[in-house]
Amino acid sequence: MPLKAWIEAIREETHKDRIRSALLELGGLSASVLDNNELVFGLLRLSRHSDLLISLKALQILTRVFRHRNRAESEYYRILAESIRDNPNAKKTEQMLIFLQRLATIDYARHRVDPSLFQEDPIREEIAGNCELISAVLSVCCRKECKYQGLLLLWILTFSKRALRSLEKSPMFYMLSFVSRDCKEKELRLSLFIIRNYLTYTCRYSYSAFQKIEELLSVASNRGNKEDEEEQENLEFCRDRYLSLVRKMSTFDAYMEELQSGHLQPLPYHFSEEFWKNNLESLGSRRTEIVKCLKRYLKSEDSSNIWIASNDLYRMVEVCPDCVAIFRQLDIHQILFELLSCRSSEDVRFHVMEALSVCYTKE
């Protein structure tokens, strides 16, 4: 039967049996034959059909067509995102995730493909860059029934550097850290595979990502299968690569990223004389920006933010006395005096007094 006849058949919404039969026949055709805009439009419409078999079969065919094109329609992603997010039927949600896995997988056994696709598959970049879809996938990874399929999809996506750059901006690492505390061994293995791909490709330190990676590696060390050689090799690689990136990173870049994160952590470089001395030039060129950030932390409700910010002000003046003039312009002295009079925490009082003291001695 010519393709035109099948297109006409799937338009008859009142005849479900005929639609199912047409879809089954279409499923046996090659992706190149199915690559027809009129057919794609009809299948997208059927993807929202109330009949589960019809909607799933339409999505299955669309997945093949879009893999053939190396790009997908935004409506296709929207349908999948809505189904994953809103559908309480775990089996249907699991099938949606499998479709996405197939979409993101290159079928090199059947067709000759451009070798560049193995490094930068545009489909993977599309999926990872779709915030609505990734949000739904990350959410479903917390469901007991669909966790494995969601993690498997994320692992496939992490073979693309560009996809990783998009995923890095999502809460993926937070999710991985969270689910690793209560997951099956195979799910923990997948989480490690995802972290391995990220650590392999990344060349920069990300404060928020590395914080969660450290938590996951700690869980994997305690709960992992010590007799599984592959898992232990992955864990060792991740640990070594993690430590290597931490050592090689520009700690000043990490410091600036932390300042923008909204929360300060008592990380080693805050208290390292070597850090402040080695980054004197960078500190000098961006001192006004840094002091303004620290001023905001001084007004925080979190005592950790206050005493760490006070420590950093003290360290800055120690290596760059010119900062005192900026302190005066921004009323840092006044804020420190107010903190000294109203805060009872010993850490806060100590570091605030330390900052005030060096301000006057270096003036």
| Residue 119 burial (CB count, 10 A) | 10
Percent of the chain with pLDDT over 90: 39
Q: Does the pLDDT value for residue 334 go beyond 60?
A: yes
Task: Kindly report the CATH class assigned to 255-361.
Answer: mainly alpha
Region 90-100: what's the mean pLDDT? 91
The one-letter code for the residue type at 10 is: I
**To which H or E segment does residue 158 belong?**
none
Of 63, 62, 68, 58, the residue nearest 24 (C-alpha): 58
Task: For the chain, give every residue range classified as CATH 1.25.40.150.
Answer: 255-361
Of 190, 198, 187, the residue nearest 241 (C-alpha): 198
What mean pLDDT is reported for the chain?
A: 86
**Contact call for residues 22 and 6 (beta carbons, < 8 A):** yes
Taking the C-alpha atoms of 262, 264, 270 and 275 in order, what is their torsion angle to the nearest 10 degrees? Answer: -30
Instruction: Indicate the pTM of the whole model.
Output: 0.73
Q: Round to whole Å and give the CA distance between 219 and 225.
A: 11
Q: Would you give the DSSP letter of residue 249? A: S
Q: Does the pLDDT value for residue 285 go beyond 80?
A: yes
Secondary structure (3-state) at 252: helix
